[in-house]
Amino acid sequence: DSGVTQTPKHLITATGQRVTLRCSPRSGDLSVYWYQQSLDQGLQFLIQYYNGEERAKGNILERFSAQQFPDLHSELNLSSLELGDSALYFCASSVGLGATGELFFGEGSRLTVL
Amino acid sequence: GQQLNQSPQSMFIQEGEDVSMNCTSSSIFNTWLWYKQDPGEGPVLLIALYKAGELTSNGRLTAQFGITRKDSFLNISASIPSDVGIYFCAGYSGGSNYKLTFGKGTLLTVNP
């Protein structure tokens, strides 16, 4: 158990819909990262937050947005969903800004868009 | 952007055999890491390497940070069935961009 909690574990929805994925980092970790894992693209970095502020942005679509709340939990919002958005979405956390590269991953949220 | 080439894509081995996988990059990294992902789980950090030439072990796992800083390898000795999973290399280049770049993974199957 990494200490990172993600909900929901599974989500099935239709194209055009909007979903919210939630992540609680390990106790004491200030950074939260979101990654997308698909079969053909592997693990793709989406976005990082540190203590409530956006720190780094990766290949995140404009239809996707995220935020980190004062209690340090984070939400990833996916809107106008397309079939290609079906993937595993992982949240990870680290103590600081992540300079060591040591991330702790949650178990993921599997999104299926029909 | 930065890309990591990880090989092989998959391996099928017998229990007890040794395994080797590697990762190469066209860019220099300051940190190399190896993660393992079990089915239905998130990646778990196995080994982190912070210095060129560094050789680090974690039980039956040994990893090295290449001298050129553009490659790394992971060896698993005397494989056991629970070694099954996907192994990812990841590189971190430092600076203000804290994102890790992941390889596409090596799927390891161990036949008992």
More confident residue, A99 or B92: B92
Q: Is the pLDDT of residue B99 over 80?
A: no
B48-76 pLDDT tens trace? 999 999 999 999 999 999 999 999 999 99
pLDDT of residue A76: 98
Q: Is the pLDDT of residue A41 over 70?
A: yes
pLDDT of residue A82: 97
Q: Would you give the DSSP letter of residue A30?
A: -
B107 vs A: CB within 8 A: no
B77-89 pLDDT tens trace? 999 999 999 999 9
Distances (CA, A) of B47 to A44, A55, B67: 20, 25, 17
A42 vs B: CB within 8 A: yes
Mean pLDDT, chain A, whole residue set: 93
B97 vs A: CB within 8 A: yes
Task: Report the share of chain A in percent with pLDDT over 90.
Answer: 80
* Cα–Cα distance, A76 to A49 (Å, whole number): 11
A3 vs B: CB within 8 A: no
B15-38 pLDDT tens trace? 999 999 999 999 899 899 999 999
A43-65 pLDDT tens trace? 899 999 999 999 989 889 999 99
Q: Is there a contact between A108 and B42 if contact means CB atoms under 8 Å apart?
A: yes
Contact A5, A66 (CB under 8 A): no
Q: Is there a contact between A33 and B44 if contact means CB atoms under 8 Å apart?
A: no
Q: Would you give the DSSP letter of residue A84?
A: G
| CB crowding A74-97: b at 16 or more within 10 Å, else e | bbbebeebeeebbbbbbbbbbeee
Q: Is the pLDDT of residue B1 over 70?
A: no
A28 vs B: CB within 8 A: no
A66 vs B: CB within 8 A: no
Distance from CA of B76 to the nearest CA of A (A): 21
Q: With cut-offs at 50, 70 and 90, classify the pLDDT of residue B92.
A: confident
Task: Report the share of chain A in percent with pLDDT over 70.
Answer: 98
* Cα–Cα distance, A96 to A80 (Å, whole number): 33
Q: With cut-offs at 50, 70 and 90, classify the pLDDT of residue B95.
A: low
**Which residues of chain B neighbour A108 with C-beta distances below 8 Å?**
41-42
pLDDT of residue A32: 95
Positions of E strands within B44-104: 44-49, 55-58, 61-65, 71-76, 85-92, 101-102
Q: Is there a contact between B31 and A33 if contact means CB atoms under 8 Å apart?
A: no
Of B31, B96, B97, nearest to A100 by CB-CB distance is: B31
